[in-house]
Structure 1
C-alpha cells in the first residue's frame, strides 16, 4: 500500500492546525487605539526605520494584549532583543489600501506577525525596564550581528555601507535612488540574501572546516548548523530561509549518500516557511524566490557552452517571473537578461571581500580597516554597474499590474515548459486550448472601448494635494503630486501617485498641473515627470525652467502658464475654466494667494478645485466671477481645511457644494480646522477627509454621479 498520499495529507492537516492556532483572529483582541501606553519584551532585532527622522523599529510581545506590536522608537536608542520596555505613543488602526493600487497595511502587519503599529514620538516616552530576557541563544546571535554592523559602520560611508549591510547581513534601509537603480537594472534581488549568497557562504564554511580534518558527515552537519544560525541572524526572510533549507536538505542527502531531488527540497522549504508563517504566501519575495528556483530547475538539460547556459537561465527566469514581478512592482526590465550575466557572478567578489573584511575586522581593527577599502571599492563598482545598466535605452519600462489571466498565462507557460517532457498529445491540446483562451482575453482587452465617463480621483497623499482627472475619450490631467522625497522624506510621487497611475493603466499624461510652488503640492511631480511621458506642465507663473533646475529637476517637459480666463478643452465634452490667478498679477509674498483655482464641467456635473487659496485669492474669485461661474457639485476645499476667515462663508454660499473633499493628513498645524468642517456641514456639504476615508473617487456619466472612498 502506498502511504505517501496519507503522509502528505497528514502533514497538510498538521500545518493547517498550526496555522489556524497562530493566525486565526481572536474574537476580541481588545487592542487599544489612539494614545496608549504598553509594556512588553522586544521579540526581534532592532532595524532602522525609513524616513527623514532617525529611528528604529522593533517587534514587541506585549503584556496588555495577546499578540505582537510593531513599535517605532525615536532616535538611535540602545535597545536589544530580550529587553523589557515601556513605551507610550500613538496606536494606529491598520487599514486596507488607502489608494487604488496601494499597499495593504493589514496584510503587511499580518505578514510580520503583528496586530498593530505603535509610534513613539519622544525619547522621554520610552524606557528600558529590564535587560536580558528572551532566548539566550537568540541574544547571542543578535549580539554578533550588532558587532558586525558596527564594524561595517566604522569603515564604510553611505551608500556603500547600507548596500554592504543588505548583502552581507540582510535588512536595513537604503537610499531610494540607489534602490531604484537596482530595480531598473533588474538586479534588485541581489540586495536580498538568497541562494547565491547562502551557497557562497556554505562553501566558505565547508572550506574552513576541512582544515580541521573533520569527517565528511561532521563537516556537513556543522555547515547546516552554522547556516541555520546565519539564517536567524539575517532576519529569516523567505529567500534566505528557502536557500538554507534547500542547501541543508542537499547536504543531508550527501551525508546519507542519497541524491536529493530539487522538487523535494523545494517543496520541503515551502512547507517549512508556510508552517512558520502562512502569510508569507503573499510575500513577493516568497513568490519570486520559489518561482525562480523552480524555473532554473527545469533548465538542467539545457545544452551549449557555459555562457549560453547562463544566458538561457537569465532569459527564462526573467520570462517566467515577469508577470509576478510586474504585479508587485509595476516594472518591466528587459535589460535584466544582460545585467544579471554580469552582476550576479560579480556578487561573489563582493561576498568574498565582505567575508574577509568581517572575519579580520572581528579579530583586529587595523587589519579589518585594510580590507574595508576593498569591500568599499567592490560595492562602489556594483553600484556603478547597476546605474549604468539602468541608464541604457529601453532598459526598463513601468507597466500596469497584469490582470489575473496574464499572471495565469505566465505561470501556465512556466509549468508547461517545466513538464514539457511529460506532456502527451492529449495534454498538448489542452495546453494549447488554454493558451488560445488567454489570447482571446488579451485581444479583447486591446480593443476595449475608450471610457465615456469622467472620473476624478482625489488621492490620499498625507498633508498635501494630488488628484487625477480622467476625461471621456482617454485624456488625463494630474493636479499636484503631493510632497517629494527631499531630505529623505517619503516621496508621494514615487510611492503613491506613480503606482496609482500604473494601476489605472496610464503611462502617458496629457498634462500635469502644479497649483502653486509649495512642496506638498509640486514635490511629487518630479518623480512623475521622470517616470511618465507628460505632454505639458501647467503652472501659475511662479515656476520656471530655472526654478526647476535649481531644485535639481531634469525634466524637459514644455511649460505653460495658466491664469484667469484660460480654458482647457480635454475632449469628450469636459471643459476646464481657470478662475485664478488674474492675468498679469504681480508676484505675491504668499504662494497660496497665487494658487490656481479652476472649475471642471462635464454635462450637468461640475467640480471646483481651490488649491491652497486663502483670504485674498477667494475674495478675488468671488469678485471677478459674480455669476454662476463658480457654482459646483464638488469642492476641493482650499488649503487642507485652513480657516480663511469670514470670506469662506460667502465663498461656500456662492459655490453651494454637495460634496466637499478635504485633502489632509498628519500635520503640526491642526488642519483641517474644526470651524471649517462645521461651516461645510452647515452649508449642506457632505464632507470627506482623505486622511480618514483614503482616496475619494467620483464618476460622472449619463446615469448620474457615483461616489466612493477607499476606506469605508
Structure 2
C-alpha cells in the first residue's frame, strides 16, 4: 500500500491532497475549488477525513462563504467530512463583520449559521490547529502540526496586525519511515520560531513543500537553516506562471541549487508545478518586466504526485512529460541554468 501526496497546479497558491492506502482524503488548503472537485471526482473520493486551512490568505482559503458552499454541496451529494481546521479567529472576525453591517453581509451571516449548525449536529467537527493539538492518525499515516505554538499564535494575533504567513501551519506528514514537511507560507519571524521550537527529528523529511510559492524572505538565512535541517531529497514548489510577485525569485532557486551541490545534503531535485519567468527570461529581460509574470499559465510538471511507501522509499509522478517541458526552456533552474546576470550560484 502507498501514501499519495498530490500537489495540484492551482497557480501561485496551494491545494494539496493526501490519500493513504486508497482510503480517506486529507486536504491542505483550498484554492480553485473546481480544480479540487475534479481531482476528487476522478479519484472516486467520497470521504474527506480532515481539511487543514493553513492561513487566511486567498491563495489558500477561498473565503468562509465559498468554503461553506463547497462543504454544503459535498454533503448534499452524499460525501462526508470528518474534521475542519479553520484559520485563526476567522469565525470570530466574521461575526464582528456581520454585527457591524448585517445587510451588507447577509451571505456571510448565512455561512456562519451553517457552520454552527454542522457543529451542533456533529456533521463536521471543528478543531484547533496549533503545535501538538489534534494530530491525525489513520493506520500508518500521521499528520502533526509543528508550528505555530498556541501562545506564539495568540501573541502574534494580539501584537501584530497582518503578517498571517508567520503563523501559517507547518505540517509534518509521516507514513511509516517516510516523511513530508508542508511549509505553507511560513516566513519572517515564523521561520525563526519554527527552527527554535522544533526538534531536529521532527524536521528531517524526504519531501519538502517550499513556502510561499518561491518567495525569498528578508531573513533568507533562516529559510536556508530550516531547509538544511529538513534535509529533503526533493523540494516541491507550487507556483504560478503569470503571478505578479516575481516568483520564483532567483535567490530562492539559487538557495536550492546550492543545497543540491552540497554533498553533505540529500537534496537531489526540485520541481515546480508551473513554468516560472526565471526559467524563460534573461536577467536584462527580467529587469524590464518588473515583477510581472508570464502572459499565461504554462505547466511545468503540472500536478506533482509523490507515491510513498512505509519503508521510506518514494516515487515521483508528474502530469506532464517534465523532461520534454524543461528542454524547451532557455534557463531551466532545476537544471542549474539560471542566467548568471540574475544571481550568482
Q: Taking structure 1 as the reference length, what is the TM-score of the superposition?
A: 0.34
Which runs of structure 2 are paired with 1:252-651 in the superposition (5 Å)?
A: 452-472=1-21, 474-482=23-31, 492-494=32-34, 496-523=35-62, 525-532=67-74, 533-544=80-91, 547=94, 552=108, 553=111, 554-555=114-115, 556=118, 557-584=124-151, 585-586=153-154, 587=157, 588-589=160-161, 590-644=163-217, 645-651=220-226
Write the distance in 1 (CA, Å) between the matches of 2:166 and 2:89.
Answer: 12
Q: What's the CA shift for 1:526?
A: 4.5
Note the alpha carbon deviations across 1:222-277, whole angstroms, 9 max, x for none.
xxxxxxxxxxxxxxxxxxxxxxxxxxxxxxxxxxxxxxxxxxxxxxxxxxxxxxxx
SS of the residue aligned with 1:693? coil
Which residue number corresponds to residue 671 of structure 1? 247
Per the alignment, residue 688 of structure 1 pairs with: 271
Question: Distance between the aligned counterparts of 2:175 and 2:310, measured in 1?
Answer: 10
Shift, 1:546, TM fit = 6.0
Tell me: CA distance 1:659–1:498, structure 2 relative to 1, closer, same or farther (3 Å): same
Q: Deviations over 1:350-405 (max 9, x none)?
A: xxxxxxxxxxxxxxxxxxxxxxxxxxxxxxxxxxxxxxxxxxxxxxxxxxxxxxxx
1:111-260 paired onto structure 2 within 5 Å:
none
Structure 1 vs Structure 2 CA RMSD: 2.0
- Over 3 Å counting, the alpha-carbon distance change for 1:575 and 1:598 in structure 2 is same
Deviation (angstroms), 1:693 = 1.4
Helix, strand or coil at the partner of 2:131: coil
Deviations 1:102-154 (A, max 9, x none): xxxxxxxxxxxxxxxxxxxxxxxxxxxxxxxxxxxxxxxxxxxxxxxxxxxxx
The size of the alignment, in residue pairs, is 251
Deviations 1:431-471 (A, max 9, x none): xxxxxxxxxxxxxxxxxxxxx31111000111210000102
Contact between 1:472 and 1:571, CA under 8 Å: does it hold in 2?
Answer: no
Cα 1:580–1:702 shift into 2, 3 Å:
closer
Higher relative contact order (CA 8 A, sep 6+): 2
Residue 658 of structure 1 deviates from its aligned partner by 1.0
Superposition TM-score, scaled by structure 2 size: 0.68
CA contact (8 A) 1:569 1:575 kept: yes
The 3-state SS of whatever aligns with 1:628 is: helix
Partner Cα distance (1:662, 1:526) in 2 = 28
Q: Distance in 2 between matches of 1:559 and 1:545?
A: 14
Change (3 A) 1:525 1:577: same
Contact 1:517–1:542, Cα closer than 8 Å, also in 2: no
Residues in 2 aligned to 1:539 and 1:517: alpha-carbon distance in whole angstroms: 8
Does 1:699 find its partner at 2:307?
yes
Query: Which protein shows a greater Rg?
Result: 1
Asked whether the equivalents of residues 5 and 17 of structure 2 are also in contact (C-alpha less than 8 Å), the reply is yes
Secondary structure in 2 matching 1:559: strand
- The separation in 1 between residues aligned to 2:310 and 2:127, in whole angstroms, is 33
Compare the two structures and name the one with the higher helix fraction.
1
Structure 1 regions of 5+ residues with no counterpart?
1-451, 483-491
CA–CA distance in 2 between the matches of 1:566 and 1:583?
9
Q: Is the 2:140–2:310 contact (alpha carbons within 8 Å) kept by the matching residues of 1?
A: no
> 1:659 and 2:234 equivalent?
yes
Distance 1:500 1:473 in 2: 14
> How far apart are residue 570 of structure 1 and its match?
2.6
Q: Matched residues in 2 for 1:475 and 1:680: separation?
A: 33
- Give the corresponding residue for 2:283: none
Aligned partners of 1:473 and 1:572 also within 8 Å: no
Q: Deviations over 1:329-362 (max 9, x none)?
A: xxxxxxxxxxxxxxxxxxxxxxxxxxxxxxxxxx
Other structure's SS at 1:510 match: strand
Could you tell me whether the CA contact under 8 Å between 1:677 and 1:687 is conserved in 2?
A: no
Residue 689 of structure 1 and its aligned partner are, at CA, apart by 0.8
Deviation of the 1:669 alpha carbon: 0.4
Residue in structure 2 matched with residue 382 of structure 1 by the alignment: none
What is residue 294 of structure 2 aligned with on the other side? none
Closer, same or farther: CA 622–663 of 1 in aligned 2, 3 Å:
same
Q: CA–CA distance in 2 between the matches of 1:527 and 1:632?
A: 35
Q: Deviations over 1:473-511 (max 9, x none)?
A: 6122100011xxxxxxxxx102x0011111111122011
2:203 alignment partner, SS class:
coil
Aligned partners of 2:13 and 2:238 also within 8 Å: yes
Change (3 A) 1:547 1:558: farther
Query: CA distance change for structure 1 residues 702 and 520 in 2, over 3 Å: closer, same or farther?
Result: closer
Q: Secondary structure at the match of 2:40?
A: helix
1:650 deviation in Å? 0.7
**CA contact 2:178–2:310 (8 Å) conserved in 1:** no
Rounded Cα–Cα distance in structure 2 between residues aligned with 1:508 and 1:671? 35
Q: Is there any run of 5+ residues in structure 2 with no aligned partner, and where?
A: 75-79, 99-104, 119-123, 261-266, 275-299, 322-345
